[in-house]
Amino acid sequence: MSWKLSRSNPVRYSQAACALAEAFQGGQDCGFALHDALLELGLLNEAEHFVPHDGGPACLPGGYCLIVAEILDQAQSHRRDFP
Ligand SMILES: [Zn+2]
């Protein structure tokens, strides 16, 4: 995925962001909480993805989301690194 490869600085997502991403993927309507968690990490673009912005709709919970996928992917590799 080019979006992933284009990142020059891998981000370390917080545990709160990982938990919320998991819930979001499971269909829970926690986009605003996820927005706040990402904002705390300084990830403005990623945060905006989960709330309505620029006249566009927010990402909907339960579907496939590239950002959620990346957060969860990193959470899993983190668990692999530190069992
Ligand atoms: Zn999305």
pLDDT per residue over 21-54, tens digit each? 999 999 999 999 999 999 999 999 999 999 998 8
> How remote is the CA of residue 82 from the centroid of ligand 1, in Å?
28
**Averaged pLDDT, 62-80:** 87
Q: What angle do CA 30, 63, 53 make, to 5 degrees?
A: 55
Structure-model confidence comparison of residues 12 and 32, the more confident one: 32
Please give the structure tokens belonging to residue 1: 């995925």
Judge whether 25 and 68 are in contact, CB under 8 Å. Answer: yes
The helix (run of H) or strand (run of E) holding residue 36 is: helix 31-40
Q: What is the pLDDT of residue 79?
A: 65
- Four-CA torsion 36, 41, 45, 48, nearest 10 degrees: 0
Amino acid code (one letter) for 10: P
> How remote is the CA of residue 7 from the centroid of ligand 1, in Å?
17
Q: What is the pLDDT of residue 35?
A: 97
Q: What is the pLDDT of residue 78?
A: 64
**pTM listed for this prediction:** 0.79
